[in-house]
Amino acid sequence: MKREYSTIGKNVKKLDGIEKAMGKAMFTTDMKLPKMLYGKTLRSPHSHARILKIDTTKAEALPGVKAVATYKNTSRAKFNTSVAALTTIPPLKPVEDQYLFDSVVRYVGDEVAAVAAVSEKIAKEALKLIEVEYEILPAVYDPFEAMKEDAFQIHPTEEGNNILGEKVHIEKGNIDEGFQSADHIFEHTFKLPVQKQAQLETQAAVAEVSVGGKVTVWSTTQTPHPTRRILASIFNLPYSKIRVLNPPYIGGGFGVRIGLSAKAEPIAVALSILSGQPVKVVYDREEDFIASDTRHSGYVTLKTGVKNDGTFTARKMSSVLNGGAYCSFSAEVPGVLGAMGLSIYYCENQMYDGHGVYTNTTPAGAMRGFGNPQAMFAIESQVDIIAHTLGVDPLEIRRKNMMTPGKSWILPYECLSSGLEECMDKGASAIGWERRGELNRKDTRIRRGIGMGIGTHVSNAWPFCVDYSNAYVTIQQDGSVHVASGVPDMGTGTITTLSQMAAEVLEVPFEKVSITFADTESTPYEIGSHASRTCYASGSAVVAASNDAKEQILEYASTKMGTKDLTMENGFIFCTNNPQNKMSLSKIALDAHVEGKQFVGVGKIVPKNAPPYFAQFAEVEVDMDTGKVNVIKVVCANDVGKAIHPQIVEGQLEGGVVMGMGYALGEEIKYDPNGKQLNYSFEKYNLPTAMDIPEIDTIIVESHDPTGPFGVKGVGETSSVATAPAISNAVYDAIGIRFHELPLTEERVYKGIKNNK
């Protein structure tokens, strides 16, 4: 029967490659409709204030202005810009704390009003004519300050002053007994920075309201179907009156638009309703920085009990994260931080407590890794400390304590596969781990070191959140295959890999498959692209739909070929025992058509989950005179389950490494004393450039998880998680100084060197 895969595991031509390379691909910012207006937003200059008076008459009188929106003439329905309302499982309740516009602004950049005009220039001029009188309110920027009893309450909360959502508590075994049985106890606190997704395409939406009241929104969202629900709630419309689609691509996401694209969609819709014309809203880069979600900053504290031989007996972790002015995903991120942080190592006794806190800063939400990079910088730094204190090889102490299939852990599903040990072995070999600690000559200016970090992640959000996928697969009358999936393509190769899966199941050449995606009107419900889930979960739905269609084809073919002993290969249906008895899929499809039948497969799945594992290694140089850290090489060994398209997997892994490098070495949004961002552009934000990228050695390990289609696991976020601790641990190996705070800027490292003398 089946030999090797014909399409799976092959580097087929990426479906969007040529049109993107030629500049022909369409993005939301390219959209232009007849009579389209341009929307711009007036944003708060204050970090916390009440609007006492707002006068828009001068703006409305400016020639070319067609509509001005404020809290006085728009929806007063509360919502959450993230998909929390669609994913939170009862009895937990989603936190909905935002209005489209409000009479109170809670951070510098919060929306005050918006204008639609015949040109962007006129819209910007109109913003200057809106007169606003504010009453300044007390503001707070640090989560510990915000939790104090006398701190001003930013939103009404139940768990404690400015504590948002419900506190997360995870517990396994007996934590007290675990510490009592330890020979050593280590306790450290680590401080995390604010990181920005820095995706190339800024937040954008185009909205058009038809004469009949139907709303069409072209959007940069990662989740078209959930976004439709959020818009329906805001504007009190039935789902049937709203269509959300990507047209057809997104210029990166990294979590920043799981749900709305900040507020681009509802602002565009509101202005379109008010003006009666299509409206395009495109954030400029500064708006993207100050008014769309960031990664959470905050604090992680770890306490670990260890035997003399390096065995962990107890692990206690806590986190306090800065959620900013609105909840977004701040009720969920602390849970992932704890769950992933406690899952990488096997330990009978573990406990975690964590929560987010409101402050008067830009909201924090989803970003690649979703709390995991914060957890693993702290955990993998402390594991390195423990190894050095006990005189144990850091690689061996990880090998001794790592989670393996069959052992109990805190996650509510089984660990059925792991390629972690293979990742560590191959990664250590590739970096030259045996050279560690022996690379420096005494008193040299440039010091060199090697470090590592490991981790695990998820392949989707089940069972922590609502997570499911649907897909249609239709056999066309010429025997070609059409896939319909609601998941978008953000540059991650989604449409290529989903098409590969359909081609493999239906045994047709890859070129015979086409795909419709990310359109709520032509695809079934799909929770969207997040949590490293598209290949694993959306792929499972496509495989299920393909198998359904295949079953229909073979059943129909059996009536034509006189036997049920059939198989499919390369676009033909064969009799298994007599290969000469065959029919092409195109003839079967056409015959069925003539008889009034089409093969339409339906895939409806609630996915399981699978843990991808990874080991990252870094070799760095540190300039003792300036504090500058140069990354020489990163080895990124990842257990991906099965690489459907190896080049796409490598691209994902390399991108994650670069994002992890930025987190480790330079990316950090800071605020002035009045709560204004200081790093709101690519010029002011220390993002790695092509000149900073070191040699990256990606190693694909395939452990074939039984729950994933063809053995797949999620890979979208993994390589961004452990890069920072690998680099930080390499810096320690180079100069013997441990840093408990990111990023390792030249200033911070230089001070560390100076203070250590």
What is the pLDDT, as a whole number, of residue 130?
Answer: 98
Q: Is residue 673 part of a domain?
A: yes
Q: Is residue 275 part of a domain?
A: no
Vertex 637 angle, CA 346 and 345, to 5°: 10
- Separation of alpha carbons 153 and 162, rounded Å: 6
Range of the domain at 564: 16-24+468-605
Q: Is residue 650 part of a domain?
A: yes
Tell me 92's DSSP state. Answer: S
Is residue 3 pLDDT above 80, yes or no? no
Three-class SS of residue 482?
strand
Task: For 593-633, give the DSSP string.
Answer: HHTT---EEEEEE-------EEEEEEEEEEETTT--EEEEE
Is residue 330 pLDDT above 70, yes or no? yes
Mean pLDDT on 30-58: 98
Q: Which CATH number covers residue 665?
A: 3.30.365.10
- Residue 72: Cβ within 10 Å count: 13
34-64 burial by CB neighbour count: b if 16+ within 10 A, else e? eebbbbbbbbbebbbbebeebebeebeebeb
Cβ 476 vs Cβ 484: under 8 Å: no
Return the higher-pLDDT residue of 438 and 130.
Answer: 130
Query: In the β-sheet with 446-456, what is the strand arrangement from edge to edge?
Result: 446-456, 613-623, 629-639, 695-701
Tell me 357's DSSP state. Answer: E
What is the pLDDT, as a whole number, of residue 448?
Answer: 97
What is the pLDDT, as a whole number, of residue 86?
Answer: 87
| End-of-domain residue from the set 605, 640, 675 | 605
Are residues 658 and 573 located together in one domain of the fold? no
Is residue 87 pLDDT above 80, yes or no? yes
What is the pLDDT, as a whole number, of residue 316?
Answer: 98
Tell me 288's DSSP state. Answer: H
510: left (phi over 0), alpha (psi -120 to 50) or beta: alpha
Are residues 495 and 632 located together in one domain of the fold? no
- Separation of alpha carbons 477 and 475, rounded Å: 7
What residue type is assigned to position 176 of the chain?
Answer: D
CA distances from 209 to 272, 318, 698 (A): 6, 48, 47
- Residue 549: Cβ within 10 Å count: 24
Instruction: Tell me whether strands 297-306 and 49-55 are parallel, antiparallel or unpaired.
Output: unpaired
Largest CA distance in the chain: 86
What is the pLDDT, as a whole number, of residue 1?
Answer: 39
- Alpha-carbon 726 to chain mean position: 21
Residue range 369-410, pLDDT digits in tens: 999 999 999 999 999 999 999 999 999 999 999 999 999 999
3-state helix, strand, coil in the chain (%, to 5): 30, 25, 45
Query: To the nearest whole number, what is the mean pLDDT of the chain?
Result: 97
Mean pLDDT on 69-95: 93
Residue range 561-606, pLDDT digits in tens: 999 999 999 999 999 989 899 999 999 999 999 999 999 999 999 9
Are residues 475 and 434 located together in one domain of the fold? no
Are residues 647 and 739 located together in one domain of the fold? yes
Residue range 485-499, pLDDT digits in tens: 999 999 999 999 999
| End-of-domain residue from the set 586, 605, 624 | 605
Are residues 512 and 599 located together in one domain of the fold? yes
Mean pLDDT on 75-88: 94
Q: How confident is the model at residue 2 (pLDDT cuts 50, 70, 90)?
A: very low
Cβ 245 vs Cβ 526: under 8 Å: no
122: left (phi over 0), alpha (psi -120 to 50) or beta: alpha
Among candidate residues 627, 609, 651, the one with its CA nearest the CA of residue 750? 627
Are residues 686 and 711 located together in one domain of the fold? yes
Are residues 580 and 659 located together in one domain of the fold? no
| End-of-domain residue from the set 554, 577, 605 | 605
Are residues 638 and 730 located together in one domain of the fold? yes
| Rg of the chain, C-alpha, whole Å | 27
Q: How confident is the model at residue 756 (pLDDT cuts 50, 70, 90)?
A: confident
Among candidate residues 670, 652, 628, the one with its CA nearest the CA of residue 718? 652
- Separation of alpha carbons 739 and 733, rounded Å: 12
- Separation of alpha carbons 563 and 472, rounded Å: 27
Q: Is residue 555 part of a domain?
A: yes
Mean pLDDT on 706-718: 97
Cβ 532 vs Cβ 718: under 8 Å: yes
Among candidate residues 240, 283, 262, 269, the one with its CA nearest the CA of residue 363? 262
Residue range 331-373, pLDDT digits in tens: 999 999 999 999 999 999 999 999 999 999 999 999 999 999 9
What is the pLDDT, as a whole number, of residue 457?
Answer: 98
Among candidate residues 177, 163, 619, the one with its CA nearest the CA of residue 358? 163
- Give the total number of structural domains in the chain: 2
Provide, rounded to the nearest whole percent, the portion of the chain with pLDDT above 90: 97
Are residues 502 and 521 located together in one domain of the fold? yes
Among candidate residues 430, 405, 440, 290, the one with its CA nearest the CA of residue 705? 405
- Separation of alpha carbons 557 and 573, rounded Å: 8
Burial environment of residue 187 by CB neighbours within 10 A (0 to 12, 13 to 18, 19 or more)? exposed
Q: Is residue 621 part of a domain?
A: yes
Mean pLDDT on 74-94: 92
Q: Which backbone phi and psi does 2 adopt, to 5 degrees? A: -65, 125
Q: Is residue 560 part of a domain?
A: yes
- Separation of alpha carbons 427 and 225, rounded Å: 40
Are residues 517 and 632 located together in one domain of the fold? no
Are residues 496 and 548 located together in one domain of the fold? yes
Cβ 489 vs Cβ 551: under 8 Å: no
What is the pLDDT, as a whole number, of residue 4?
Answer: 84
Are residues 656 and 749 located together in one domain of the fold? yes
Q: Is residue 727 part of a domain?
A: yes
Residue range 315-326, pLDDT digits in tens: 999 999 999 999
- Separation of alpha carbons 254 and 111, rounded Å: 23
- Residue 153: Cβ within 10 Å count: 12
Cβ 639 vs Cβ 757: under 8 Å: no
Predicted TM-score (pTM) of this structure:
0.96
Q: Is residue 524 part of a domain?
A: yes
